[in-house]
Each structure stands twice: as C-alpha cells, then as structure tokens.
C-alpha cells in the first residue's frame, strides 16, 4: 500500500492526496486475481504472443473465448478486498470515501489483424466492469466498458480494423452493444496499451457519479463517459468498492497489466507560497478545467504569514477554461487583517461550487466539505536568491501542490475568513481576481 503525499505547510504536517490500496503488475504473481476461482488470468513474460508488457517484465492474459451469457465470463479481481478491506470478499460493509476513488487497468488492444494467435472475427467483444457495493456490503451496481473488434466499412462509427467502445451498466450480448448510437461510441484504430479508468465520486448533490475514461499509453484522456443514477445515494445505497471483472472475453486472450485501486484525497485544495516579496512581486494564475458538473467554480483564497498568522481571504469565480490572476503584493497583502507587510506568504486555494453560479455565490467564509468541487488548476511565481555578489534574484514558476483537506482545516480557514469579514473593518479581505494571466516582477 502506498500513499502519495505532499507537505501541507498551513498545518505544518504531511498529508496525503491519494492512497494506493491495491496494485498488481503481475511481476511475481496474480494475487488479487485468484480469489474467485477459475478462470484465472495467466501470468506471462513480456513478448508473449508478440506483446511487450506495459511496464516491467511480465503482464497477464485474461483467458478466452469466454462468453458472459453462456460461460460465466473471464478473469476477475477483488482489488485487494471489498470495501477497501484487505482480503475481504463477500459482505464487507464500508463507507464511500469522502473524495471518491479510482480503479485502473491497462488493456492491450490489437487491431493489426496479423497475430496468428489472436481472434479477429467481426464483432468479437469484451466487457470490463468495476462494480460498487451498498453500505452494508451487498452488491449495488456495475459500470461497464463495452468493447468490440470490427473490420466493416459501415462508418457506424469508423471503418476498417478498429475497436469500438461505449459505457453502460450492463454487459454481455444480451445487455449491451459497443456500437450503440445512443451511448456515444468511440473508435480506437491504433494497436497498443490503453488505460481503462473508473473514477467514482460525489456529483455535488450526494449522488454517485462514475467517469469511465480511456487513456492512451502517454496518459492522455481519449474519451470519457459519465454514468449516474439518482437512486445511487452516497451513504444510503452506495458504499465501498466491489470487484473488477472482465465479464465477457471473446478473444483468444486479452493482455492486461497494472491493476490499481486508489482512494482519492481532496481534489479542490492546493497550496503554494511566495517569498522575497520585499524584492519584487509574485503572482498566482488560476484556471478551471471544467470537470465539475456545474461548470463554474469559486476559487477561495486564504493567505498566511510564515508564523501561521492569517492575512487575508477573498474568492474568484472561474468559468471553464478561463484564466484569472492575483498579484501577491497588490491583492493578497495590500489589505491585511493585521498591520504588517510580510516578505513571504503561504497561499491556500480551495475550489467550491458557487451558489447560484455567479460571483455573488462565492464566499470564502462559507466553504464546506459538501461544496468542494474539482477542476481547479493553479500556478504561482516566486523570487529566489541567485548565487554571486551583488545579490540578485530570479523568478521561478511552479504548480500549486494538490493536498488533502481535513474538515477541521477547512473550518479553520473559513472561520478566520469569517472573522475578518465581520470584525476586520474592511481589513483582511483581499481583492478578487482579474481576467488574464500575470507575470511576476523584481525590483
């Protein structure tokens, strides 16, 4: 089990943005894929059947042909244990993680039509699901990638050798069809490794949403489908993880690699800093990737001095793909709660869903865990002393670091801001963002 951690300077402690609960690269065994009985995946050396492993020296092959409706499907995993509990299979009560979770599986897609060991019959299919449980550990729902190999020229969609994919809550020939025009089918016409990602999260209204995405070997997102049912209520009908299952596998073999389950940290919290402000200005540039269901986000800004003394807060409405900016000197420390002009600051950013969708609905003193929204990306500049005499300073730019945000820390941020708004006589409220990007400067 691994944790992906960042230094959270506000709390002067290390916190984790994501926790890897399970990983299987098939380098030494098939653990986690051997818990349900056969058929098991077959661990093979890189180069078997002409396929180079996605990573390392080994991968696995899900056996086939195995039809879901008649043969009961192919290989499956418990992701290390149901309900995020190691080794638990069956009824494993668990709560849905506050910030959601992801499962990932690399699958090799062969459209060459030339591998003598493979099957290339028209409309040969596989269905792959990552399922979720109810809070009591019983089954709730499947989330399927439905894929098929085609070589026709029907443009329905695509033409010639290709895979066509869509996403649904059903698998098997009686329950799904990769070319279903009502489910936005997507074409892949290049052989190679692709990552199939299930991202399970709160849609902002307490209902489960699942983004099913296909990524290329470089990690670029090629296609995403979002599945959500209003009856999938987190905490009531939705709990922890269940199985991953290649439920239909009609090829002779299906290469797989790098199966992973990750519990996510807060996606709407990032930290950065600015130093040597007596030598020049630093800036913060912010955008919105548009991943939140409501589109617009509030970016709530909280500034502290190196002694954790609160300086100021404000909020910016950021629309999808917009670029807005703040000057540290001109916006964040020009109107501090206490009469000081610090030479360095810690900057915390929290993105949330705006009430009513406008800037009037952005209030950094009212941000709660229920309103935190994804989509924020931010970069900041700072000045660093350069070697040599006389002293000179150079400007660098870095990403703000995504970090976990506890309920206590969010309450801490919002309460400081609320105090400034109510009792600061106008001080402690920074200026809001302006449109466009800024560059830092030095004196």
In a domain, 443, yes or no: no
In a domain, 110, yes or no: yes
pLDDT of residue 146: 98
Whole-number average pLDDT of the chain: 89
**Mean pLDDT within 100-104:** 94
Q: Which of 264, 287, 306 is the last residue of a domain?
A: 264
Residue 259 has pLDDT above 90, yes or no: yes
Q: What is the mean pLDDT of residues 173-181?
A: 96
Tell me: do 237 and 373 sit in the same domain: no
Burial of 358 (0-12, 13-18, 19+ CB in 10 A): exposed
Judge whether residue 55 has pLDDT over 70: yes
Q: Does residue 274 sit within a domain?
A: yes
Residue 152: CB atoms within 10 Å: 14
Q: Which among 264, 287, 310 is the end of a domain?
A: 264
CA distances from 365 to 64, 302, 413 (A): 57, 10, 8
Q: Is residue 293 domain-resident?
A: yes
Does residue 5 surpass a pLDDT of 60?
no
- The model's pLDDT over 121-172, given as tens digits with 9 standing for 90+, comes to 999 999 999 999 999 999 999 999 999 999 999 999 999 999 999 999 999 9
Write down the pTM of the prediction: 0.65
191 and 287, same domain (yes or no): no
- Give the rounded distance of the alpha carbon of 105 from its chain centre: 15
Q: Across 110-143, where does the E strand assignment appear?
A: 124-133, 139-141
- The predicted structure's pLDDT at residue 6: 31
Q: Which domain holds residue 148?
A: 2-264
Provide the CA 421 distance to its chain's centre, in angstroms. 34
Maximum average pLDDT range among 8-22, 203-217, 398-412: 203-217
Please say if the pLDDT value at position 45 is more than 50.
yes
Whether residue 75 is predicted with pLDDT greater than 90 in this model: the reply is yes
Q: Is residue 369 pLDDT above 70, yes or no?
A: yes
Co-location of 177 and 292 in the same domain = no
Confirm whether 365 is domain-assigned. Answer: yes
Question: 320 and 244 in one domain?
Answer: no
- Structure confidence at residue 11 (pLDDT): 27
Q: Which pLDDT score is estimated for 437?
A: 73
At 181, list the tokens. 């025009």
Based on the fold, state whether residues 283 and 156 are members of the same structural domain.
no
Q: Do 119 and 252 reside in the same domain of the chain?
A: yes
Q: Contact at 8 Å (CB) between 388 and 347?
A: no
**């820390």: which residue's tokens?**
409
The rounded distance, in Å, linking the Cα atoms of 33 and 256 is 11
Residue 434: what pLDDT?
Answer: 82
Contact between residue 211 and residue 101 where contact means Cβ atoms under 8 Å apart: no
Q: Which residues contact 114 (CB under 8 A, 6 or more apart)?
A: none
List the single range of 46-50, 55-59, 311-315, 385-389 with lowest mean pLDDT.
Answer: 385-389
The CATH number of residue 252's host domain is: 2.60.120
- Of the residues 242, 264, 286, the one at which a domain ends: 264
Pair (259, 274) in one structural domain = no
247 and 174 inside one domain:
yes
- The answer to whether residues 145 and 43 belong to one domain is yes
**pLDDT at 90 (0 to 100):** 81
Interatomic CA distance for residues 310 and 301, integer angstroms: 12
Domain-located, residue 359: yes
Asked whether residue 364 is domain-assigned, the answer is: yes
DSSP state of 193: E
Shared domain check, 96 and 40: yes
The secondary structure of residue 265, as a DSSP letter, is: -
Regarding whether 330 and 223 lie in a shared domain, the answer is no
- Whether 149 and 123 have beta carbons less than 8 Å apart is answered as yes
155 lies in the same domain as 185: yes
Residue 16, pLDDT score: 36
46 within domain boundaries: yes
CB-count burial class (<10 Å; 0-12, 13-18, 19+) for 399? exposed
398/328 Cα distance (integer angstroms): 15
Q: How far apart, in whole angstroms, are the C-alpha atoms of residue 287 and residue 290?
A: 9
Q: What is the mean pLDDT of residues 271-292?
A: 90
Give the total residue count for the chain. 443
Give the total number of structural domains in the chain: 2
Cα–Cα distance measured from residue 108 to residue 84, given in angstroms and rounded to the nearest whole number: 27
Band of pLDDT at residue 28, cut at 50, 70 and 90: very high
């Amino acid at each position: 089990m691994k944790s992906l951690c960042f230094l959270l300077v506000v709390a002067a402690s290390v916190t984790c943005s994501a926790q890897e609960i399970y990983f299987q690269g098939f380098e030494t065994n098939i653990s986690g894929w051997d818990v349900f009985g056969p058929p098991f995946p077959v661990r093979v050396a890189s180069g078997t059947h002409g396929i180079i492993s996605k990573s390392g020296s080994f991968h696995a092959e899900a056996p086939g042909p195995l039809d879901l409706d008649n043969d009961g499907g192919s290989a499956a995993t418990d992701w290390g244990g149901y309900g995020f509990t190691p080794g638990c299979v069956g009824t494993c009560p668990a709560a849905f993680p506050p910030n959601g979770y992801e499962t990932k599986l690399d699958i090799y897609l062969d459209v060459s039509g030339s591998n003598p060991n493979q099957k290339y019959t028209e409309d040969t299919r596989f269905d792959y699901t990552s399922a979720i449980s109810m809070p009591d550990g019983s089954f709730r729902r499947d989330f399927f990638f439905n894929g098929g190999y085609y070589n026709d020229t029907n443009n329905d969609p695509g033409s010639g050798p290709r895979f066509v994919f869509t996403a649904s809550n059903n698998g098997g020939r009686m329950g799904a069809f990769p070319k279903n025009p009502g489910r936005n089918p997507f074409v892949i016409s290049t052989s190679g490794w692709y990552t199939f990602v299930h991202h399970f999260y709160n849609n902002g209204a307490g209902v489960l949403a699942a983004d099913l995405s296909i990524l290329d070997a470089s990690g670029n997102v090629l296609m995403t489908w979002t599945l959500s049912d209003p009856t999938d209520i987190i905490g009531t009908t939705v709990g922890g993880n269940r199985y991953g299952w290649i439920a239909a596998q009609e090829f002779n073999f299906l290469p797989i690699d790098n199966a992973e389950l990750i519990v996510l940290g807060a996606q709407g919290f990032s930290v950065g800093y600015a130093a040597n402000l007596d030598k020049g200005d630093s800036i913060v540039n912010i955008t919105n990737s548009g991943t939140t269901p409501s589109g617009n986000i509030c970016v709530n800004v909280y500034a502290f001095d190196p002694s954790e003394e609160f300086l100021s807060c404000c909020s910016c409405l950021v629309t999808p793909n917009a670029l807005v900016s703040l000057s540290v000197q001109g916006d964040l420390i020009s109107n501090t709660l206490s009469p000081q002009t610090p030479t360095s600051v810690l900057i915390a950013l929290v993105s949330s869903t705006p009430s009513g969708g406008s800037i009037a609905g952005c209030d950094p003193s009212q941000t709660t865990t229920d309103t935190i929204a994804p989509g924020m990306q931010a970069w900041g500049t700072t000045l660093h002393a350069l070697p040599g005499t006389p002293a000179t300073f150079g400007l660098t730019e870095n990403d703000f670091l995504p970090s976990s945000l506890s309920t206590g820390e969010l309450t801490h941020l919002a309460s400081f801001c609320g105090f400034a708004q109510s009792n600061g006589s106008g001080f402690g409220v920074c200026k809001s963002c302006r449109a466009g990007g800024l560059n830092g400067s030095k004196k």
